[in-house]
Amino acid sequence: MKITGDVDSVNTFFLRCPMPRPLRPPKTGSARQKTTRPYHHGDLRRALLEEAVRTIQSDGVASLTLRAIGPRLGVSRAALYRHFTDKSALLAAVAAEGFRMLGAALRATWPAAPPTFGAFSDMAVAYVTFAVQHPSHYRVMFGGFLDPQTSDPDLAEAGPAAFQILVDAIVDLQRAQAIGPDDPAQLARYVWAMVHGVAMLTIDRQIDCQTSEVEGLARFAAARLWRGIGVGAQESGPATPVGER
Amino acid sequence: MKITGDVDSVNTFFLRCPMPRPLRPPKTGSARQKTTRPYHHGDLRRALLEEAVRTIQSDGVASLTLRAIGPRLGVSRAALYRHFTDKSALLAAVAAEGFRMLGAALRATWPAAPPTFGAFSDMAVAYVTFAVQHPSHYRVMFGGFLDPQTSDPDLAEAGPAAFQILVDAIVDLQRAQAIGPDDPAQLARYVWAMVHGVAMLTIDRQIDCQTSEVEGLARFAAARLWRGIGVGAQESGPATPVGER
DNA sequence: ACCTGAACACCGTTCAAGT
DNA sequence: ACCTGAACACCGTTCAAGT
């Protein structure tokens, strides 16, 4: 078998993206204001969670250290263990928060009625956009850091709840006869895998990371997805969606 | 907006999979045979690489420790640094090996001629199957452990080479007029995101992990993908592919 | 109730010294 | 050339003791 296709194309979009990994922002004075609340912190749990997300955002999950985050808030390093039993509990809390945010973003795109291709496409874009705008949350949610079996109850509820929105949307579309009668669970897995794949490859910097281009790919994907699963699909989805280059 | 869809369905396939995380196999006698080669090891680099993959397979990437792997081969812990400059170099080597294996698996499914839906579907299945059979490699390749910018040259070549096979297949299909004239790069991103999504969600245990069911989903996805991107697609792809439940 | 400081058992990595 | 043993600067986590 001969390899023929345009060899250049791969180098133009695989492993390219000039955006540098953002550096930790300079420490502001507020990071050490133990003067105002030397003891009982207002909402230390919340503050620790936010500081953890901030750290992941700037340095990556790998270099998140529980030792550093307490002191950065003007608190001892053991203080964190009053609010999170261990590192995986902290990550589970980040993931649960992420699933809740993702769920809200998806829900916001879905109209009461009628379900349309436009709304479906918007939901796909919303999914990918969430991942691009909150890569720290997304990577914790899907980076394999969490034990998928026995996590904390908060996470065990938030994950499925977010996914259910996708299932519900598909059921809505089926009821409106906008898509065929395939097993909705299988369809949901298919659609989920699609948006998840785009999201993951994007935040891993393996496809374009510019927001506009990502939306273009998401809309392209949604249109192809629709033409694939739609009834009389050849004409109901846009042939050449926005964002194509 | 009211949540209506069958609530049960989510619990039946989100976060389910009884298969326990495999435990480290009991140490065999061969793991400590420093008697045969007390000094100059035959191919220590290769042995270290394999031991690392074995460790990731059983304990996960997170608990891969460079200290442990040398001694497990009957060698001091610093010996590894003669062959890999640091941990990320070791992971890069695992990833490069994985990309080469993946490339070979994909190439094997693609016939010299003519390109068909069957071959396209086989390639999708081969991609997902590779990930399921080599989850350690796959997670290192796509888990965000590697710096996508400046990795070692071996990896920088192997990754794009594997991806190019996908691009070439799409170009072949376009030349045979089996799929439409969309930008092949965009199509390749789309197809790649699809199989990557299925692969990732599967090895993260977020969708079914039984091999037969995964193949079913992969074939389902390939069929829907095809109906979406195929010319006169409604009749050229199988309406109800193998493995649907 | 919530926090602190010191401690324990780990890491990745280095380096003078050995063969 | 390749390997070793000890060392350094880190981790996550615990725990008696403080307020």
- A1·B112 Cβ contact <8 A: yes
Q: Are B203 and B138 in contact (CB under 8 A)?
A: yes
The encoded tokens of residue A242 equal 């926005």
Q: Is the pLDDT of residue A166 over 50?
A: yes
Could you give the CA distance from residue A91 to residue B19 in angstroms, rounded to a whole number?
23
Residue of chain A nearest B207, judged by CA positions? A189
> Which residues of the protein have their beta carbon within 7 Å of strand D?
A 64-68, 77-78, 81, 85-88; B 39-41, 44, 70, 75-79, 82-83
Round to whole Å and give the CA distance between A182 and B211: 21
pLDDT at A236 over 60: no
Average confidence (pLDDT) over B187-216? 86
Instruction: Point out the residue among A9, A145, A148 whose CB comes nearest to the CB of B185.
Output: A9
Q: Say how far A40 CA is from D16 C1', in Å.
A: 21
- What torsion, rounded to 10 degrees, do the Cα atoms B103, B19, A166, B4 define? 160
Do the Cβ atoms of B69 and B48 come closer than 8 Å? yes
- Which residues lie below 8 Å from residue A130, measured CB to CB, with a gap of 6+? A101, A102, A105, A106, A138, A199
Residue B25 Cα to chain centre, angstroms: 23
The pLDDT, as a whole number, for residue B7 is: 31
CA–C1' gap, A229 and C7, in angstroms: 61
pLDDT at residue A148, as a whole number: 73
Q: Convert the pLDDT of each residue in A63-98 to its tens digit.
A: 899 999 999 998 989 999 999 999 999 999 999 999
Per-residue pLDDT at B141:
95
The two three-digit tokens of residue A177, written as one number = 């006869």
- Confidence label for B19 from pLDDT (cuts 50, 70 and 90): very low
The pLDDT, as a whole number, for residue B208 is 66
**B225 contacts chain A (CB < 8 A):** yes
| CA A218 from centre of chain | 13
Using the beta-carbon criterion (under 8 Å), do A110 and B1 form an inter-chain contact? yes
Which B residues 60-79 have CB within 7 Å of strand C? 64-68, 77-78
CA atoms within 13 A on the CB side of A144: 25
Q: Please write the tens of the pLDDT for every residue from A98-127.
A: 999 999 999 999 998 889 889 999 999 999
Nearest to B185, CA basis, from A195, A124, A208: A208
- For residue B131, what are its two tokens? 């990930």
Residues 100 through 159 of chain B touching chain A, CB cutoff 8 Å: 107, 110-112, 139, 142-145, 148-149, 156, 159
- Specify the pLDDT at position A20: 31
Query: How much is the mean pLDDT over chain A?
Result: 77
Backbone angles phi, psi at A220, to 5 degrees: -55, -50
- Burial degree of B166 (CB within 10 A; 0-12, 13-18, 19+): buried
Span B20-33, pLDDT tens digits: 333 333 333 333 33
pLDDT given for residue B100 in this prediction: 96
Strand C bases near protein CB (under 7 Å) are 2-6, 10-16
pLDDT confidence bin for B228, thresholds 50/70/90: low
Contact B164 A190 (CB under 8 A): no
Nearest residue on chain B to A111, judged by CA atoms?
B1
Chain B, 36 to 65: residues with Cβ < 8 Å from chain A are 60-62
pLDDT-based confidence at residue A209 (cuts at 50, 70, 90)? low
Q: Do A183 and B107 touch (CB under 8 A)?
A: no
